């Protein structure tokens, strides 16, 4: 039959077939990772020049000079206010008005051997009045703990300066009213004068469960049982929570009266990050004795590895994301956003792989299929636990760490400014509800699935997502013109002087000894110097896609507490703060690993 004479319905049918085929080619074949291990882009190692140990020492010194520039500017224009406004030479009280930059910087000064700055900062610490002005009725608990209390304790650990411990003890007592909930989990804030707690019955995971390291160390130093109990109560509450709905992962929102989770939104980045971090670090701080923390860490990382790690379509970049939804089914739906905040994860995984017998957890009495005595029964997630149980966990954690750290670094190296954006979206993700319900995308790009295919193929190449990749540099205009070869688009363009990526580079350098992590850190420091330095401090680039980058007028205290500290430690050859003897709190304040004495065990009912 000649086509021209075909009935209209046959023509429609043909058009339909062709259109379906085109859609299939665009959305299904393009998404399929069946051939992922074989089609992985070849490893494209960046070539870095030989650098002598004298040169690394000189680089460490340049970071120290950068710190001096930032802190001297703070002293000149802002102290004893909280933070410096580095463009207008101004000052701001945005964290209680007690001089947060001075408190947060104390132990960085000690590590960098800046004795004069330390002595001057002690004056600010001594004079700080732990109250609030009448226009602010309360202090935010989480930030006060990680920056002020953590800063005092880290500096005490390194100096044994009595004033620091006295003030830490005084501050913790002033904050104590925050625990006045039925569950004993802390409220959002507290009025330091009246002790009255502030905030709703609903708590955010990171804000209510990031105190264990600070309070446990403070209990060790003071012998006070109350501090121990606060930390212990948080850990026991997390441990006894029913997490079937979320596959064993701690969700973001909790009820402070009942001490139970109330949603299924899962995050590795904002609102959750430091709680996952403290599961491992609490175990390490207490001389590897708190088995409940270890089990929770294995559980959280198992869920993350099997449900929240994905690999991008063309460059095969490994990334970690969050989920949306209010039921478990939806909770399995990934958003494919990737936050700068999540870039602490590669460092954490590398630290755990380095210090834990992950390839022989049985030696510690831990069974991945029977975590918390629950027989691995985590609904839809159980398959993931069984899947991971068949792998060498030490290797998998280290591979994930290397792949994620490589991606975190590339999100800097890909930009015109050489700095990393605060948030990106990976893949062909539209963010629409319809796509959220389409699980085929998640299945196609799941890292653990790609790993299974890689294992079955017997490939000798690196696992999917692991191995070096070349940067693809785009200007802001290019990056805004739609989907690019980079596999991701920007969601938040700013670089807020954050530490997470250099933190992970530092840990990977210490753990693997591979100098590429140091070189990458140096490139980032060069970009910080080039793009963010002002005559009076360092500003925060509004768009990483531009060079020179337009700057916002703020210099967060964590830039001195964390970003510059980790960069200094990365370049310094002296192995200061060995990872097996010190644990960094989430604001990079180092606490020494310890063991409980028999007397303490009796006192704390251990
Ligand atoms: C820091 O204050 C801490 O690391 C916190 O846990 C979250 N991130 C900020 C800096 O990005």
387-410 confidence digits (pLDDT tens): 999 999 999 999 999 999 999 999
How far apart, in whole angstroms, are the C-alpha atoms of residue 380 and residue 564?
A: 42
How far apart, in whole angstroms, are the C-alpha atoms of residue 422 and residue 269?
A: 11
Among protein residues, the one with the nearest Cα to ligand 1's atom 3 is 587
What would the pLDDT profile of 318-335 be if each residue is shown by its tens digit?
A: 999 998 765 545 556 788
Predicted local confidence at residue 324, as pLDDT = 78
CATH number of the domain located at residue range(s) 33-603 in this protein: 1.50.10.10
Residue 500's closest CA among 302, 261, 339, 322? 339
Residue 606's closest CA among 284, 225, 238? 225
Q: What's the whole-number mean pLDDT along residues 164-171? A: 98
Please check the confidence at residue 23 and state whether its pLDDT lies above 60.
no
Classify residue 87 as exposed, middle or buried by CB count within 10 Å of its CB (0-12, 13-18, 19+): middle
Name the pTM for this structure. Answer: 0.92
Residue 288's closest CA among 376, 351, 211, 370? 351
Please check the confidence at residue 428 and state whether its pLDDT lies above 70.
no
Predicted local confidence at residue 84, as pLDDT = 98
Instruction: Using the mean position of ligand 1's atoms as its centre, give its distance from the Cα of residue 558 in Å.
Output: 7
Residue 138: pLDDT band (50, 70, 90) is: very high
Residue 147's closest CA among 75, 98, 92? 98
Among protein residues, the one with the nearest Cα to ligand 1's atom 6 is 586
Among protein residues, the one with the nearest Cα to ligand 1's atom 10 is 498
Any atom of ligand 1 within 6 Å of the Cβ of 402? no
- Mind giving me the DSSP string for 483-528? --TTSEEEEE-------HHHHHHHHHHHHH--THHHHHHHHHHHHH
Work out the mean pLDDT of the chain and round it to a whole number. Answer: 91
User: Which parts of 271-375 fold into alpha helices (H)?
Assistant: 273-285, 291-303, 328-331, 345-355
Any atom of ligand 1 within 6 Å of the Cβ of 315? no
Predicted local confidence at residue 33, as pLDDT = 44
What would the pLDDT profile of 495-542 be if each residue is shown by its tens digit?
A: 999 999 999 999 999 999 999 999 999 999 999 999 999 999 999 999
Tokens 């000064």 — which residue? 109
How far apart, in whole angstroms, are the C-alpha atoms of residue 507 and residue 294?
A: 20
C-beta separation of 563 from 101 below 8 A: no
Question: Which numbered atom of ligand 1 lies nearest the CA of 498?
Answer: 11
Instruction: Using the mean position of ligand 1's atoms as its centre, give its distance from the Cα of residue 516 in Å.
Output: 25
Helices (H) and strands (E) in the chain, counts: 26, 21
Instruction: Using the mean position of ligand 1's atoms as its centre, give its distance from the Cα of residue 183 in Å.
Output: 26
Give the domain ranges of the chain: 33-603
Instruction: Please report the beta strands in 380-438, taking only residues with DSSP state E, as ranges in sequence order.
Output: 423-426
Residue 10: pLDDT band (50, 70, 90) is: low
Residue 348: pLDDT band (50, 70, 90) is: very high
In testing the pocket of ligand 1, which one of 271, 273, 503 has its CB within 8 Å of the most ligand atoms? 273
C-beta separation of 400 from 309 below 8 A: yes
Predicted local confidence at residue 26, as pLDDT = 37
Predicted local confidence at residue 473, as pLDDT = 92
C-beta separation of 122 from 74 below 8 A: no
What would the pLDDT profile of 226-237 be if each residue is shown by its tens digit?
A: 999 999 999 999
Residue 22: pLDDT band (50, 70, 90) is: very low
Predicted local confidence at residue 373, as pLDDT = 72
How far apart, in whole angstroms, are the C-alpha atoms of residue 128 and residue 468?
A: 48
Question: Which numbered atom of ligand 1 lies nearest the CA of 344?
Answer: 4
Please check the confidence at residue 30 and state whether its pLDDT lies above 60.
no
Question: Which numbered atom of ligand 1 lies nearest the CA of 277?
Answer: 6
Predicted local confidence at residue 93, as pLDDT = 96
Q: Which has more confidence, 187 or 244? A: 187
In testing the pocket of ligand 1, which one of 499, 585, 588, 590 has its CB within 8 Å of the most ligand atoms? 499
Q: What's the whole-number mean pLDDT along residues 68-72? A: 98
Residues in the chain: 606
């Amino acid at each position: 039959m000649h086509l021209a004479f075909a009935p209209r319905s046959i023509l429609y049918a043909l058009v339909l077939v062709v259109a379906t085929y085109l859609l299939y080619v665009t959305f299904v074949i393009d998404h399929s990772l069946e051939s992922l291990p074989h089609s992985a882009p070849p490893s494209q190692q960046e070539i870095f020049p030989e650098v002598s140990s004298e040169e690394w020492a000189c680089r460490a010194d340049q970071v120290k000079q950068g710190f001096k520039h930032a802190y001297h500017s703070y002293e000149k224009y802002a102290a004893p206010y909280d933070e410096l406004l580095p463009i207008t030479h101004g000052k701001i009280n945005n964290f209680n008005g007690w001089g947060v930059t001075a408190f947060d910087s104390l132990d960085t000064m000690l590590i960098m051997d800046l004795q004069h700055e330390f002595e001057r900062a002690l004056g600010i610490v001594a004079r700080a009045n732990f109250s609030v002005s009448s226009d602010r009725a309360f202090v935010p608990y989480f930030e006060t703990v990680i920056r002020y209390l953590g800063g005092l304790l880290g500096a005490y650990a390194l100096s044994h300066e009595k004033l620091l411990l006295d003030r830490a003890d005084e501050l913790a007592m002033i904050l104590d009213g925050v625990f006045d909930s039925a569950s004993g989990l802390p409220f959002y804030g507290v009025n330091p004068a009246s002790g009255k707690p502030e905030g709703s019955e609903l708590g955010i995971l990171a804000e209510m469960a990031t105190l264990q390291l600070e309070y446990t160390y403070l209990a060790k130093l003071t012998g006070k049982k109350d501090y121990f109990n606060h930390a212990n109560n948080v850990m026991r509450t997390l441990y006894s929570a029913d997490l079937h709905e979320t596959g064993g992962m701690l969700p973001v929102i909790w009820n402070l009266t009942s001490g139970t989770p109330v949603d299924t939104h899962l995050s590795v980045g904002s609102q959750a990050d430091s709680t996952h971090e403290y599961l491992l670090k609490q175990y390490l701080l207490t001389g590897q004795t708190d088995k409940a923390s270890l089990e929770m860490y294995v559980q959280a990382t198992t869920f993350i590895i099997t449900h929240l790690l994905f690999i991008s379509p063309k460059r095969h970049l490994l990334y970690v994301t969050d989920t949306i939804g209010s039921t478990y089914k939806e909770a399995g739906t990934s958003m494919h956003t990737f936050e700068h905040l999540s870039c602490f994860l590669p460092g954490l995984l590398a630290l755990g792989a380095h210090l834990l017998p992950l390839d022989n957890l049985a030696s510690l009495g831990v069974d991945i299929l029977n975590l918390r005595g629950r027989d691995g029964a985590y609904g839809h997630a159980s398959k993931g636990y069984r899947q991971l149980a068949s792998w060498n966990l030490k290797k998998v954690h280290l591979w994930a760490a290397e792949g994620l750290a490589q991606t975190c670094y590339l999100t800097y190296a890909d930009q015109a400014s050489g700095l990393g954006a605060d948030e990106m979206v990976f893949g062909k993700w539209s963010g629409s509800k319809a796509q959220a319900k389409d699980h085929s995308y998640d299945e196609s790009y799941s890292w653990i699935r790609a790993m299974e295919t890689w294992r079955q193929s017997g490939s000798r190449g690196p696992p999917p997502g692991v191995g070096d990749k070349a940067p693809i540099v785009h200007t802001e205009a290019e990056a805004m013109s739609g989907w690019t070869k980079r596999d991701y688009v920007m969601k938040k363009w700013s670089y807020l002087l954050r530490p997470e990526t250099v933190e992970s580079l530092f840990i990977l350098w210490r753990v693997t000894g591979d100098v590429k992590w140091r070189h990458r850190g140096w490139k980032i420091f060069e970009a910080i110097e080039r793009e963010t330095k002002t005559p009076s401090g360092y500003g925060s680039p509004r768009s990483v896609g531009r060079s020179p980058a337009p700057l916002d007028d703020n210099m967060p205290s964590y830039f001195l507490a964390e970003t510059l500290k980790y960069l200094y430690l990365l370049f310094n050859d002296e192995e200061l703060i060995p990872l097996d003897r010190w644990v960094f709190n989430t604001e990079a304040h180092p606490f020494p690993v310890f063991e409980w004495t028999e007397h303490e065990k009796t006192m704390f009912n251990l």
